[in-house]
Amino acid sequence: MNKNTRIKLNDGLTMPVVALGVWQSHEGTKNAVLTALKNGYRHIDTAAVYHNEKAVGEAIKESGIPRNEIFVTTKLWNDDVRSGNTREALKKSLENLGLDYVDLYLIHWPAEGYVEKLQKEGLTRNIGVSNFRKSHLQNLLSKVHIVPSINQIETNPQMVDEETIQYCKENKIGVEAWSPLGSGACLNNPKIQEIANKYQKSSAQIILRWLLQKGIVILPKSVHENRIKENIDLFNFVLENEDVELINQLNQHKRTGPDPDNFDF
Ligand code: A2P
């Protein structure tokens, strides 16, 4: 595994295993994306509701990197899912990004709605979902023709939804971790710090490497150059199984974000 490693999705397309997340990057977004691209990231994860697609698009253009070398994800907001306004919403995102297509379009929360036609039209290469638990996926799969290629869920040492991850594996749905660092909350965990000392790595690197070794795509967010670099510098060490297991034991099913079974927006 190296920073150019890509996982194969269920439709044969591939995705780089490390992305830059830009939720809450605010006015630091453009600079963060430029910094990430300069340091080897080729995967950027945004959403309509983050209101920073324009900045992401500007950075991609300014980087000079060919479009087809960068994997871009954005997400469809709940109101547009429920109203069926999906094509207009994706067109708006593409206009903001200054792109003809995105690589992955995700239904942001498990609101009922369909996006299959957008893939057929070529506006997105892949379609997927976010924040779907096993029951939401079961409901979806009973109604659609295309199995989502990805489910992006909150995953970090204190929050692992094993049941959903197992269901995704069984159904060839790739798993991406949002808030892989628990929005920073996992960094001070003494066990993680102990393991970090053992490998002479930062707590962030230990957590991110743990997720990669579990086959999960990561999208750490940072607006700081040193951290952006650190968060993709994960390929010159391997966690021993016993350390993977120690981190597995930290799971408390404790979310930093909303509960997908009970969200009201
Ligand atoms: P910042 O953007 O100021 O660097 P998550 O990806 O789990 O949501 O975590 C993001 C949070 O963790 C942000 O507050 C970010 O702050 C911080 N962060 C990201 N990378 C690192 C790192 N390598 N070391 C310490 N904090 C980090």
Q: Which tens digits make up the pLDDT trace of 80-107?
A: 999 999 999 999 999 999 999 999 999 9
Tell me which residue of 148, 101, 141 sits closest to 125, measured CA to CA: 101
SS3 145: coil
Q: What is the b/e burial string over 25-47, where b = at least 16 CB atoms within 10 angstroms of the residue's CB?
A: beebbbbbbbbbbebebbbbbbb
Cα–Cα distance list, 64 to 8, 16, 40, 102, 200 (Å): 26, 19, 13, 17, 35
Q: Is 207 in the pocket of ligand 1 (CB under 6 A)?
A: no
Catalytic option among 41, 50, 105, 167: 50
- Across the range 106-111, mean pLDDT stands at 96
pLDDT digits (tens, 9 = 90+) for 168-198: 999 999 999 999 999 999 999 999 999 999 9
- Tokens for 150? 């990805």
Tell me which residue of 181, 148, 173 sits closest to 257, measured CA to CA: 181
Q: Which residue has the tokens 């779907």?
A: 132
Quote the strand ranges of the chain, DSSP E: 6-8, 14-16, 20-21, 43-45, 71-76, 102-107, 124-130, 150-154, 174-178, 217-218
239 has a pLDDT exceeding 90:
yes
Query: Hey, how many other C-beta atoms are within 10 angstroms of the C-beta on 8?
Result: 12
User: Does residue 50 have an active-site annotation?
Assistant: yes
Tell which atom from ligand 1 comes closest to the C-alpha of 186.
7
Residue type at 146 in one-letter notation: I
| pLDDT range class, residue 114, cuts 50, 70, 90 | confident
First to last CA, the chain: 38
Task: Choose the residue to mutate in 202, 203, 227 for probing ligand 1, maximizing ligand atoms within 8 Å of C-beta.
Answer: 227
| pLDDT range class, residue 112, cuts 50, 70, 90 | confident
Whole-number Å distance, alpha carbon 183 to ligand 1 midpoint, is: 6
Query: pTM for this one?
Result: 0.97
- Give the pLDDT confidence score for residue 214 in this predicted structure: 98
Whole-number Å distance, alpha carbon 11 to ligand 1 midpoint, is: 32
Q: How far apart are CA 15 and CA 71, in angstroms?
A: 7
25 has a pLDDT exceeding 90:
yes
Whole-number Å distance, alpha carbon 109 to ligand 1 midpoint, is: 23
Q: Is 204 in the pocket of ligand 1 (CB under 6 A)?
A: yes
SS3 70: coil
Task: Choose the residue to mutate in 221, 223, 228 for probing ligand 1, maximizing ligand atoms within 8 Å of C-beta.
Answer: 221
